[in-house]
Amino acid sequence: MNRPDRFAATKARPQPVPSPVLSDRVLVGAFAALVAARPLVAGDDLGRLRLTSGGGPVSFTLCLLLVLIGFAVWRVAFGRGRPARWPVVPVLLAAVGIVAFASSRLGDRYARPGLFVGWEWIGLAVAAYLARRLTASANDSRGLINLVVASAVSVGGLAVYQSAADRLGLPGTEPVVPVESAPLAGDDEFYPELNGPVEPVKQPHGTLDSPETLLVYLLLVLPVTVTYAKFRRLSAWGRWAVAAALVPIAAAAAALLSNPFGDRGGHWEAALNMMTGHPALGVGPGNFSRLAPDVLTPHAAWLGLAATTGLVGLGLLAAALVAALRGARPATGPDPTEPPAAGPRWEFYLGGMVGLLIGFVWAVGAMPAEAPANEVFRLGAAAVARAALWFASFALLETLRPPRAALGRAVLVGAGLVIFYGLVSDAPGRPTVLFPLFVLLALAANLRGPDVPDLPDGGWTRPVRVVRVIAVAGLAVVHLVTAALPA
């Protein structure tokens, strides 16, 4: 009779995950959390011109800088390096922020909005860099694309409910603020056009600031969702991918039927006059409504950027878009060999959970002070339903693996729709749209070729990387002192 090998259990134990790999997965999960949280953070008041604007966007940029610090420390601590990829796009985006800040310091302009707008562009540059370098592998890029699509499905599902609630008398998803609330101190002298009585946002808008932003956000992601539905036969669960495409389509139709663009007459003339008077650097962020009190915005994202940051700012963004679109073009030929993901990728599930939780916390922080305390349960119910839809969508998308070229083409189509709508809408110029736009373009660029392994660390590169860590940490401290704490 053979005795059982008492060492068999020891031999069968899984090997511990190496520290470099575990740290890398933690950083990927942290970035995934921020990608999931981005649609839940208000993004229509970049310069904080309203007295009631919350600190969510400012805190979001700080979180991006913290992840960047973690990535820089990881490279130093474990001697890992990754080939330089797409360095020009983050540099160009950060340059737009620098131009916005410099423009706000000229003449007798209101300078404070330029500081916040400049940091928003720098945060966007950090997001593009992390998407290109931190999640450089094809598997990580697919995971983040799935995460963006799942976020669009959850936001679209909430928008569909909002549209039905208005017609069927169902409970709403927004905090109810008493009408007889007292006016804010200073609302008669600090941008009175923006700080008057708060009107309810037109439905449906999902978690975004308006139906207009919702529509443009969904148009960005819709081609990718249709691509997943097209290749649904690749998975036993693929038949449900049609539902993941139909929800955003229904939400986009509901947003379009709400007439999100409204009247656009007479708004371009004011922007063109500002461009004529200040062609190089514009009138400065936050100064558009000061110079044209009857026209709060030009209702054209790219025209508004040219009016506030000049042709220099618009040219830098155009260069960044051209470089990103060229980098995201699908490669010719068959897809490179790509091993499937080994089991559930918990960094994305946990990252999504943390991102949804952070977004809920920011939404509670942005609640009007006049709203009763029990209105937080209304936000909580919407957050629970949205989270359930997000996890179901992400789990479904993880079973599908469309060809890389198909995903790349879908991202380019969505980006083209956003760029086109920037001619007639302010929404494409808001971070809630620009953030997923450049993240998706970076991920599509990652899918172009075979995965490139980490480079061995050279002896002379370690001091350079230490300097980078110090520089990024200093940048985060400057942001904390100049923007986060004052906000």
Give mean pLDDT in consecutive 10-residue pieces for the chain, a chain of 487 residues. 48 65 91 94 78 81 94 82 76 95 86 89 95 89 94 92 83 72 51 59 81 93 92 73 88 85 67 85 84 76 91 95 92 68 81 91 78 81 91 90 91 96 90 95 88 61 77 91 84
Distances (CA, A) of 267 to 120, 172, 216, 243, 429: 25, 33, 20, 39, 16
CA 285 to chain centre: 21
CA distance 147 to 153: 10
Which pair of structure tokens corresponds to residue 207?
A: 């978690």
The burial of 421, by beta-carbon neighbours within 10 Å (0-12 exposed, 13-18 middle, 19 or more buried), is given as buried
pLDDT value of residue 17 = 67
Half-sphere exposure of 52 (CA within 13 A, CB side): 19
* Total domain count, the chain: 1
Is 18 within a domain? no
Give the torsion sign (CA, 286, 292, 297, 299).
Answer: negative
Is 190 within a domain? no
| Count of all residues that appear for the chain in the document | 487
Which pair of structure tokens corresponds to residue 412?
A: 């380019």
The burial of 67, by beta-carbon neighbours within 10 Å (0-12 exposed, 13-18 middle, 19 or more buried), is given as buried
pLDDT value of residue 418 = 96
CA distance 425 to 434: 13
CB 272 within 8 A of CB 304: no
Place of tokens 């931190």: 134
Phi, psi (5° rounding) for residue 387?
-65, -40
CA distance 142 to 450: 13
Place of tokens 């940048």: 475
Is 184 within a domain? no
pLDDT value of residue 10 = 46
pLDDT value of residue 226 = 92
CA distance 348 to 452: 22
Give the DSSP letter of residue 334: S
Q: Which residues contact 374 (CB under 8 A, 6 or more apart)?
A: none
Is 177 within a domain? no
pLDDT value of residue 244 = 85
| Helix intervals (H) in 198-286 | 211-230, 241-257, 267-277
Burial 135-147 (b: 16+ CB within 10 A, else e): bbbbbbbbbbbbb
CA distance 277 to 307: 9
Is 185 within a domain? no
In terms of residue numbers, what domain contains 135?
Answer: 31-172+200-333+346-484
Give the torsion sign (CA, 218, 219, 220, 223).
Answer: positive
Is 6 within a domain? no
Is 393 within a domain? yes
Which pair of structure tokens corresponds to residue 297?
A: 């915005």
Radius of gyration for the alpha carbons in the chain, expressed in angstroms and rounded: 23
Phi, psi (5° rounding) for residue 386?
-65, -40
Q: Which residues contact 486 (CB under 8 A, 6 or more apart)?
A: none
CA distance 385 to 393: 12
CA distance 206 to 12: 48
The burial of 212, by beta-carbon neighbours within 10 Å (0-12 exposed, 13-18 middle, 19 or more buried), is given as buried
Is 230 within a domain? yes
